[in-house]
Amino acid sequence: MTDEDKYIEERHDGYGRTRLRLPWLRKDHAAATELADRLESLPGLVRLEIRPYTGSLLFEYDPDQLDGKQILHHVTHVTGVTTVVGRGQPHPHNHQRARSAHQHGSPLARSIAQFIKEMDGELLTLTDGELGLTDAIVLSLALSAVSQFVRHGQIHTPPWYGLVWRAVQIYSSFERPALDETKHPLDVV
């Protein structure tokens, strides 16, 4: 998480208790310890509990000497983090991350694509360029159909989800220009 991605979540602010969440503390336990040392001197603070594994900070304080706004101000000052997300507000970077995943693929999609490309490369290397992964899949499906016809005298209808998936693939290939021209809600205008 970069400094630009750091934010503070206000989780609870009640009489004598305030809970904040600092997500980056989950990956930086040393910073949690340092933060605890710097916050313990707040006048009116009765107890401070920091849980590095969740990034949670619980402040119990004397409401006559301290309040949640003062605590939040002090935490932003000590950490240098100025982005504060209130209760019920969306996280500031989720939309940016969603747009990035839309434009470049999610990390999972990129990992799967990389794996498939590596498998295709290995198969092409093993067969001296004669057979790629797409060819192997088409051949295995055709052989499966022939095998089923030989054993049962007929080819069974694929399950409904297979038909739906195939319909989406056919639509995507025939309607590529229309799909490319249609704006996605996460496209930058």
pLDDT, tens digit only, all 189 positions of the chain: 555 568 888 888 888 999 998 888 888 888 888 888 888 888 888 998 988 888 888 999 999 998 888 988 888 888 888 788 777 776 666 666 777 777 777 788 778 878 888 888 899 999 999 988 888 888 888 888 888 889 888 888 888 888 888 877 877 777 776 667 777 665 665
Identify whether residues 77 and 105 lie together within a single domain: no
**pLDDT at site 42:** 87
Identify whether residues 150 and 170 lie together within a single domain: yes
Identify whether residues 102 and 152 lie together within a single domain: yes
The whole domain housing 144 covers 95-181
Q: Is residue 186 in some structural domain?
A: no
Identify whether residues 61 and 110 lie together within a single domain: no
Which residue, of 48, 66, 92, is where some domain finishes? 92
Distance CA 160, CA 166 (A): 10
Q: Is residue 127 in some structural domain?
A: yes
**pLDDT at site 46:** 92
Question: What phi and psi, each to the nearest 5 degrees, are found at residue 25?
Answer: -65, -25
Position 150, amino acid: V
**pLDDT at site 61:** 92
Position 78, amino acid: V
Say how many residues make up the chain.
Answer: 189
Query: Cα–chain-centroid distance for residue 21?
Result: 18
Q: Which stretches of the chain are assigned E, i.e. beta strand?
A: 8-14, 17-21, 45-51, 56-61, 84-85
Consecutive H or E run containing 134: helix 133-152
